[in-house]
Structure 1
Amino acid sequence: MATVSNLIKDMPNGPLDAYRKRATFDWRSFKLTLEGEDHVRFQKKLWEFIRTNPVFQRPTGPISLDEARRRSNAQLKVLRDKNINPLQMREKFFYTFQYDGSVALKICLLNGMVLTTILALGTKQHHHFVGELNNGNYICCFALTEISHGSNAKGIQTTATYNTATKSFIFHTPDFEAAKCWSGGLGKCATHALIYAQLITADGVKHGLHLFIVPIRDPKTHLPFPGVTIGDMGEKIGFNGIDNGFIIFDKYSIPHTSLLNRAADVNEDGEYVFAVKDRRKRYGSLMATLSSGRTSVVLIASHYMSLAVTIAIRYSAVRKQFGPTDEDDELSIIEYQMQQLRIFPHLAATYAMKIFSNEFYKTMVEFLVSRFTSGNLNTDIGIEIHALSSATKPLCSWIARDAIQDCRESCGGHGYLKMSRLGDIRADNDANCTYEGENNILIQQASNWLLNQWTNVINGRPVPSPLGSADFLVDAEQILNTKFNQSTIENTLKPENLLLTFKWLVCYYLKKTYQRVKDLKSNGMSDFDIKNNSQMFLARTLSLVYGEHALLMYFIRCLQDPKWKINERDVLTKLCSLFGAVTLEKRLGDLYACGYASSTSNIDNFLREGIVTLCKDLLDNTVALVDVLAPPDFILNSPLGMSDGEVYKHIKEWFFKDKETFERPSWWKEIRSKL
């Protein structure tokens, strides 16, 4: 308790006291157990650094796009000087997203994804770039997407043709549709870019997409080199501190050593050679590198949800409307069943995502570190990370999208004000649904992997699933033979029973999708058309239930950790059950139509009554549960969600701080036609 008192300040007194006193656990002790002392110490240090450093002081009013870019760059520099970056801090770094997504994402891209990619796909001849990037002499962005091609990377048109006379690669953009775009940091800041281009050897043979580190701006003038055209893409819905840009090459020559050549190379004589001959290992290495960004998105989404549910629950505990009779005191809107149904499932999902994303990100980092330090590559882990991230990145970004919207609506008109911050959180999270793989395209990669596992199952071969996300498939036929047989709400809501239902759904949709693919193939349909015609209601659903199963599985693993006190495990178990029950309730049609539950099984009533009961049981603890998640007030930055609960006091302060609030408009004479 002494450690808790030293690390975590208690909440100030105010209107939220009534709910905090009803909690069945100590939120500070719970936070320390959930996040770990190392994380809590880091948060304390980070928040104090941001609070006291002038570059992080929030502007008092609207700022220009150029000023947003300047601020973000200044903040990135001071964070880099303090060695606060994804490679140094790992999953702890992502708390910075709670302050401002722009600076956090920018440093994530420039100091995280870029460096990881160079270390993973480059060799010793590229390691000097790491030092230059770390000390800020170079700024490098990541450029894959083109104006007319994004998800279909094979369709990318930028070329890198080897010239044996000059021993260099000639970069060329055939037309504007082939211009690289959406690269964060490219528009104004980057000196170098990691560019994906179609490699062509001097004999005219095309070898597919390869990655190069390309100097693009003169370090003396910060102007583009001759043959390079760079532009800024302008204002976006969110993340306007990030200078997304486009780049066009006109027969631009770069050194031969610019090719990241760990897997394949072109020697000085122009011969294309494989450094890694095993195609599966080359694929596993590439997939694991791409997966780092996708696992990051899941973490980012969980932090955005933490902010949104904190604001919505604190506001709902203070906001009062109506009562049993006109004479009674008004009730806090959090007491109403519909408000609980709108918000509490999102609180449960936030905990599910937080637990999953932290553990999954650690796994991904450990995999990459082992790759860098020992050179060993466990291909099965790399491919499973790719599959799991391809399912959970879409799933979690969509969960966060819906949660933030519901939190906005649950705060009524005040939630629509800019000051609530919910609009900004919603806008920033919206990008999570598109970058690092557009969700509806990316999700297909998970189903492709699962279909390969089903081939293993029917042929009696092992299912390579070292992370345990699909190892149960070896028992698929036994699982599919089970039916829902619970007779009480209590048993239905047990996490292990909910998990069994998810296993059944994964097995069912995997078998059904495989059969559809087989039928289409027997009818002579091409591989392309087979994939296209097996997505809706089949492969897409398969990937989503696979991701839902993973989130619940990780949650249950967390519950089994002996670190929890009895009262802490009790409230966590209710959150776990609520997450599972709400997710399954949305799939009742599947459970009935697919034969898992009979028409007399009562599964619909058990789940729905269970959800109502769980929301009611969690009511006393919801404010304490968001206290666990919430950053300090100056980071949360929402009058609706301040820790003291003085909502109306802070709204008044927000209204009154701007002198223009009370001024007559400069165009006042135009208001009426005649004066």
Structure 2
Amino acid sequence: MESQNTKYSNPTDEDYNINQDQAIVTRRIQRLSLHLNPVSEHPVFSDSLQLLTCAGRAKINVNVENLSKYMRGKHRDIQERVYEYFNARPDLQTPLEISKDAHRELCMRQLMGLVREAGIRPFKYVVEDPAKYFAIIEAVGSVDMSLGIKMGVQYSLWGGSVLNLGTKKHKDKYFEGIDNMEYPGCFAMTELHHVTNRNSYRFEIISNQCVQMFKAFRLLQLLIRSRDEFIIDTPNDGAIKWWIGNAAVHGKFATVFAKLMLPTHDTKGVSDMGVHAFIVPIRDMKTHEALPGIEIHDCGHKVGLNGVDNGALKFRSVRIPRDNLLNRFGGVSRDGKYTSSLPSINKRFAATLGELVGGRVGLAYSSVGVLKIAVTIAVRYSLLRQQFGPPKQPEISILDYQSQQHKLMPMLASTYAFHFATSHLVEKYSEMKKSHDEELVGDVHTLSAGLKAYVTSYTAKSLSTCREACGGHGYAAVNRFGSLRNDHDIFQTFEGDNTVLLQQVAAYLLKQYKEKFQGGTLTVTWNYLRESMNTYLSQPNPVTSRWEGEDHLRNPNFQLDAFRYRTSRLLQSVAVRLQKHSKTLGGFGAWNRCLNHLLTLAESHIESVILAKFIEAVRSCPDASSRAALKLVCDLYALDRIWNDIGTYRNVDYLAPNKAKAIHKLSEYLSFQVKNIARELVDGFELPDHVTRAPIGTQVAKEAYSQYTQYAGF
């Protein structure tokens, strides 16, 4: 395998301008030179990301304060304000046992208190400073996940739809009421029978990801010109708005997505202008009773998140003013004339959904926050709990067992990797909101879909693993694994089912692949795709496939090359398969035949992005001790992922048997090394005990059992 550059540093644009034939020859010479000389003596390792010798050797001394400062960044102060407010208000802390109705009312009081008493106003940050907004959401979700979701519904969905889909008149009218919770609202998109219907999963028409979404949308809005208003109607039960957060109890307004039907003078009678968003009052501002023509029902008890009042909405000829159309992408004059800056229904709907991508960003970011809590509890308990040991010697902690390390240390490494990847996503999202750059829009849409799917699926599995790793005490409700698992589970479905989102990632990669072979310009910022059909898909180098030295395996370029090689192979092979099967099965049939392959491609790409961002974070860390710890964790993340998919690499002779064995051995040793600093690593998340709220996961180990017994009345 050839690397994409001649130094062990991150690739630059200059590297890609080198004549490929000459570059390949040069790289082969250098690889052979490295093979003949000890790697550690070679001058190419003068890079700032020098290989760090594995402790064991010596344990890395981690400055937890510096590590935490680097991890939490500039928004740690606002998170501390959230934590301190709830710590000072025990009456607002969610008890272990609480009914659905009581939890909903508590959740509303929590949100009102945070906004009106603590003075934390998230709404202004939704557009001005999304990174700060997501930091607030993460902290609030750590207190109670239901509260985090309820806040997200109020400000990201209901409020965000007004800011992103409306115009100045809507912002002027609704901003203050949304901000101070006078106008609690909801976001009515999902319908009982239809959510999305993507008929566009075909290799030939990947250019527009949203082309066929919501083809089956049922709810209707009809303009009545003589009254200057719209009539909203639910034509059948399949069109009932379902799972609408804030609808069952507290919401007074709803952003309702419906087909806009305009009267015409021809035989058709009406013209379908596609899906638009409308502000619909659903309850009286004074009496809080449902308004005429609006049926509101409760979706009932859920597996988790019972502090959120999900409801169902049905409309019977409800009249709303024409100005209630959120008309950023399309408006209607009083005489019934429709105008839009976008030429088609599909483009308008794609633009509408594009403005709502922040929900996926928030879920990915918040999911990492949940994983931090679970890993912190599991690691601290595993260090505390002692069980068995050598004969006539003291018992050892369960984290000293290799099996426990195998469960938790790669998970801890992944948590750090996901933190940096989702932080990067938030930065890109913030930049996109300011610049509206088309290249950046495509990147953010794809990366948010991929990270939301990948991270939430990983976290869901990890929550069960953490519970099992803590044995019987992990089963106690007071230690939170059950509630975390139940509340987080729906993250895999929120803002798009994970399987559907991964298909969007695969579709976007195939679009880029196709454009490359049609002579087009790649519009993505993932530079490695530019190299995918030459450097990364050249035949594996028989020399490097056998290298098994620790310095080589821990080199970031080897790790990145391995991840990217796998993605490139998957991309090329699935493109060939789709083209082959489409001749006999058609576009839809070919996509379905290759679906598992496509999902694997998407996950492989996301893992490549995650690793690249982790390596960048290691390089950028200013504190030497923190950088050493992060490098160790990054290496574990990379090698563990390679080993988990070792069959793929062996099947294409990318790794010789001896090298595969060396990777397995080194990943186990790195797990042991990470175990030695596991306490410092979880302390780096800076989650106080009143946030983790699990007796077995307290920072001061000797207090764990004393706190735990108090819950049983001792």
Instruction: Give TM-score scaled by structure 1 length.
Output: 0.88
1:234 matched residue in structure 2 = 300
Alignment check: 8 A CA contact 1:294 1:393 kept: yes
> Is 1:552 paired with 2:605?
no
Deviation per CA, 1:111-139: give whole Å up to 9, x if none.
12332222222112211212221122211
Specify whether residues 230 and 212 from structure 1 end up closer, same or farther in structure 2 by C-alpha distance, changes over 3 A only: same
The answer on 1:622 being equivalent to 2:678 is yes
On the 8 A contact 2:332/2:338 being kept in 1, the answer is yes
Amino acid in structure 2 at the alignment position of 1:612: E
1:340 and 2:405 equivalent?
yes
Match of 2:191 among 146, 157, 171: 146
Shift, 1:567, TM fit: 2.2
Using a 3 Å threshold, how does the CA distance of structure 1 residues 210 and 283 change in structure 2: closer, same or farther?
A: closer
8 A contact 2:252–2:285 mirrored in 1: yes
The one of 582, 586, 597 equivalent to 1:526 is 586
Superposed displacement of residue 58, structure 1: 4.0
Give the aligned residue type for 1:569.
R
Percent pairwise identity: 28
Instruction: Indicate conservation of the 8 Å contact 2:218/2:234, yes or no.
Output: yes
- CA RMSD between the two structures: 2.0
Q: Contact 1:212–1:258 (CA<8 Å) still a contact in 2?
A: yes
> Is residue 592 of structure 1 aligned with residue 637 of structure 2?
no
CA change 1:509–1:51 in 2 (3 A) is same
Q: 1:571 corresponds to which residue? A: 629
1:33 to 61, 70, 77: 70
- Matched residue of 1:290: which SS? coil
1:99 is aligned with what amino acid? Answer: V
Matched, 1:137 2:190: no
Aligned positions of 1:33-112 closer than 5 A:
33-36=70-73, 38-59=74-95, 62-81=97-116, 82-85=119-122, 87-88=124-125, 89-93=132-136, 94-112=138-156
Aligned-partner Cα distance in 2 for 1:234–1:630: 36
Q: Which amino acid in structure 2 is aligned with residue 512 of structure 1?
A: S
Q: Give the CA deviation at 1:603.
A: 3.7
Q: Deviations over 1:391-428 (max 9, x none)?
A: 11110001111211111100001101111101111111
Any conservation in 2 of the 1:28–1:628 contact (CA below 8 Å)? yes
Q: Distance in 1 between matches of 2:278 and 2:659?
A: 55
Return the alpha-carbon distance in structure 2 between the equivalents of residues 111 and 522 of structure 1: 47
Deviation at 1:473, TM superposition (A): 3.2
Q: CA deviation at 1:620?
A: 1.6
Does 2:682 correspond to 1:647? no
The CA deviation at 1:489 is: 4.5
SS in 2 for 1:238: coil
Q: CA deviation at 1:257?
A: 1.3
Q: Distance in 1 between matches of 2:349 and 2:555?
A: 40
Deviations 1:232-291 (A, max 9, x none): 111111111110111001111111111111111222222332233488975664343232
| Offset of residue 630 of structure 1 | 4.1
Count of paired positions: 621
Query: C-alpha separation between the residues in 2 aligned to 1:580 and 1:530?
Result: 33
Name the residue aligned to 1:666.
none
CA contact (8 A) 2:548 2:663 kept: no
Name the residue aligned to 2:393: 328
Aligned partners of 2:344, 2:313: CA distance in 1, in Å? 34
Name the SS for the 1:194 alignment partner.
strand
Of the three residues 481, 486, 492, the one matched with 2:538 is 481
Structure 2 counterpart of 1:24, which letter? N
- Whether 2:689 is the aligned partner of 1:633: answer yes
Asked if 1:295 is matched to 2:353, the reply is no
Aligned to 2:194, what secondary structure does the other structure show?
coil
SS at match of 1:170: strand
Change (3 A) 1:424 1:556: same
1:189 and 2:250 are equivalent in the alignment: yes
The alpha-carbon deviation at position 206 of structure 1 amounts to 1.4
CA distance in 2, matches of 1:78, 1:117: 24
1:400 aligns with 2:465: no
Matched, 1:381 2:440: yes
Report what 1:17 is aligned to.
Answer: none
Deviation at 1:443, TM superposition (A): 1.4
- Residue 505 (structure 2) aligns with: 446
Within the candidate set 555, 559, 574, 1:498 is matched to: 559
Question: What SS does the corresponding residue of 1:262 show, helix, strand or coil?
Answer: coil
Could you list the per-position Cα deviations for residues 135-193 of structure 1 after superposition, in whole angstroms to 9, with x for gaps in the alignment? 22211211111111123332221111222222222111122221101111111011111
- CA distance in 2: counterparts of 1:473 and 1:352, whole angstroms: 24
Counterparts of 1:576 and 1:388, CA distance in 2: 20
- What is the CA deviation profile of residues 304-363 of structure 1, one whole-angstrom value per residue up to 9, with x for unaligned ones? 1100110000000010111111x2211100101010000001100100111111221122
Unaligned runs of at least 5 residues, structure 2: 1-57, 126-131, 198-213, 265-269
SS in 2 for 1:205: strand
Shift in Å, 1:471: 5.0
- The one-letter code matched in structure 1 to 2:242 is C
Give the aligned residue type for 2:300: G
Is 1:313 aligned with 2:379?
Answer: yes
The farther-off stretch of 340-349 and 631-640 is 631-640
Give the distance between the partners of 1:250 and 1:509, measured in 2 at CA. Answer: 50
Q: Distance between the aligned counterparts of 1:283 and 1:144, measured in 2?
A: 13
418-427 or 119-128, which deviates more: 119-128
Is the CA contact (8 Å cut-off) linking 1:287 and 1:386 kept in structure 2?
Answer: no
> TM-score, length-normalised on structure 2?
0.84
Cα distance in structure 1, aligned partners of 2:638 and 2:217: 41
Q: Give me the whole-angstrom Cα distance separating, in 2, the residues matched to 1:35 and 1:560.
A: 17
Q: Secondary structure at the match of 2:227?
A: coil
What is the identity, as a one-letter code, of the residue corresponding to 2:112?
K
What is the CA deviation profile of residues 43-100 of structure 1, one whole-angstrom value per residue up to 9, with x for unaligned ones?
33222111113542343x5222111011000111122221342653323212221111
> Which residue identity is paired with 1:28?
E
**1:471/1:195 CA distance change after superposition, 3 Å:** farther
SS of the counterpart of 1:321? coil
- Between stretches 382-391 and 341-350, larger displacement belongs to 382-391
What is the DSSP-based 3-state SS (H/G/I as helix, E as strand, rest coil) of the residue aligned with 1:576?
Answer: helix
Q: Which among 481, 505, 522 is matched to residue 422 of structure 1?
A: 481
SS in 2 for 1:331: coil
Structure 1 pair 340–241 and aligned structure 2 pair: CA distance change class (3 A): same
Q: Is residue 121–residue 180 contact of structure 2 (8 Å, CA) maintained in 1?
A: no
1 CA distance for matches of 2:333 and 2:161?
21
Distance 1:296 1:489 in 2: 40
User: Are the counterparts in 2 of residues 98 and 631 from structure 1 also a CA contact under 8 Å?
Assistant: no
- Letter matched to residue 442 of structure 2: I
Aligned twin of 2:168: 124
CA contact 1:102–1:242 (8 Å) conserved in 2: yes
Specify the alignment match of 1:24 in structure 2: 61
Give the distance between the partners of 2:263 and 2:444, measured in 1 at CA.
Answer: 37
Task: Report the residue type matching 1:56 in the other structure.
Answer: L
Deviation string, structure 1 residues 429-467 (Cα, Å, up to 9, x no partner): 1111011101111211111111110012212322111xx
Equivalent position amino acid for 2:76 in 1: V
Q: Distance in 1 between matches of 2:411 and 2:378?
A: 10
